[in-house]
């Protein structure tokens, strides 16, 4: 067989194939149809994706930053120096009183920034507003001060620590500025009824809910007093209009428990001492506060 013969053989193939090939039906490719279909697909995809793109908001990456880091970063050397000067100026005031009670000295030893005033039959101890300086000062208090022991205060109250005159204060002078424990254990305290309370230690730039630090502090104090059955209470703020943005706590100094120290310790540990204002009785059974409507503690 040769190719010519093979070509002649093809003559006898099936009639179906011959007729089919006589009028081949091959649809031409219409490129405008392809373009239109592609455009429709693009439009559909855009319609599906664009609304999602509009809804999405860019995420703001906020690095986790603890309170301690914030305070450390905001505490500068000039501010510390200014704070030291303030303390130096307020320290002699304490020495002008002939009878500084042990409670006062204790307060000074804890806070290191106490401003002591004495009016008549009671002593009012106020702690300054909490700022970076107070947060950076050392908070290591190993044991509560025995208020029964008479002692004197050193007129030269330094910035961070009570001098050796408060013998119950730890002797370890190594104090680190800027190291604030977020959660402080109170197991070292002599009172067994203390509990550990934690404050939220992180602040976020993206927080939208308003924060009421005073309310949080009040809740913490209330919880602390009630759970430890302290002879104290949070006074009605309306009765002390002069002390705004303060939590006024009334307590009975005649109790066996050193309530003021415990409250101060608690406030210190939870960094809410800036909102604290403490009233206490001088004599047992006296009326707390200036108002006659105040309750009388035992």
Partner 1 sequence: MNDQAIISLFEQRNEQAISESNQQYGALCRSVARDITGNDEDAEECLNDAMLAAWNAIPPAKPKNFCAYLLKLVRNAAHDRYRAAHTMKRNAANIAGSIDELAEIIPDRGDVVDEVERREMIGAINRYLHGLPQNQRDLFVRRYWYATDIAALSKMFHMTESHVTMTLSRLRKRLQKHLRKEGLL
Contacting positions for partner 1 (CB under 8 A): 1-22, 24, 26-29
Smallest separation (angstroms) from partner 1 to the CB of 25: 8
Please work out, in degrees rounded to the nearest 5, the angle formed at the alpha carbon of residue 129 by the alpha carbons of 124 and 135.
115
Minimum CB distance to partner 1 smaller for 27 or for 52: 27
Q: Nearer Cβ to partner 1, position 12 or 171?
A: 12
> From the CB of 23, what's the least distance to partner 1, in Å?
9
Dist CA 96 CA 229 (whole Å): 36
User: Cβ of residue 31: shortest distance to partner 1, in angstroms?
Assistant: 11
CB contact at 8 A, 161 and 114: no
1 or 48: whose CB is closer to partner 1?
1
Euclidean distance between CA atoms 271 and 265, whole angstroms: 10
What's the rounded Cα separation, in Å, for the pair 5 and 292?
A: 133
Alpha-carbon span 283 to 47, nearest angstrom: 79
**How does strand 122-126 pair with strand 232-234?**
unpaired
Nearest to partner 1 of 18, 81 (CB atom): 18
Distance CA 12, CA 10 (A): 5
**Cβ proximity to partner 1, 17 vs 50, nearer residue:** 17
CB of 16 to partner 1, least distance (A): 8
Minimum CB–partner distance for residue 40 and partner 1 (Å): 23
């Amino acid at each position: 067989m040769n190719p010519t013969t093979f070509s002649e053989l093809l003559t006898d193939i099936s009639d179906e194939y011959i007729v089919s090939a006589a009028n081949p039906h091959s649809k031409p490719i219409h490129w405008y149809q392809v373009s239109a279909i592609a455009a429709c697909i693009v439009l559909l995809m855009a319609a599906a994706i664009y609304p999602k793109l509009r809804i999405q908001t860019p995420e703001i990456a906020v690095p986790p930053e603890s309170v301690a880091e914030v305070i450390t970063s905001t505490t500068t050397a000039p501010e510390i120096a200014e704070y030291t000067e303030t303390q130096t100026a307020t320290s002699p005031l304490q020495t002008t009183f002939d009878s500084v009670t042990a409670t006062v000295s204790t307060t000074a030893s804890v806070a290191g920034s106490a401003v002591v005033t004495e009016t008549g039959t009671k002593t009012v101890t106020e702690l300054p507003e909490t700022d970076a300086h107070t947060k950076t000062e050392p908070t290591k208090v190993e044991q509560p001060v025995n208020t029964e022991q008479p002692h004197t205060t050193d007129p030269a109250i330094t910035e961070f620590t009570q001098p050796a005159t408060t013998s119950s204060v730890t002797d370890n002078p190594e104090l680190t500025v800027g190291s604030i424990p977020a959660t402080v254990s109170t197991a070292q305290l002599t009172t067994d009824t203390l509990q550990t309370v934690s404050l939220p230690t992180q602040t976020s730039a993206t927080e939208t809910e308003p924060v009421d630090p005073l309310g949080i502090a009040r809740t913490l104090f209330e919880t602390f007093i009630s759970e430890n059955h302290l002879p104290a209470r949070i006074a009605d703020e309306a009765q002390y209009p002069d002390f705004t943005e303060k939590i006024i706590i009334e307590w009975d100094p005649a109790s066996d428990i050193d309530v003021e120290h415990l409250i101060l310790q608690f406030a210190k540990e939870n960094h809410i001492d800036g909102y604290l204002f403490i009233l206490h009785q001088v004599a047992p059974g006296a009326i707390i506060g200036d108002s006659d409507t105040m309750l009388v503690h035992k």
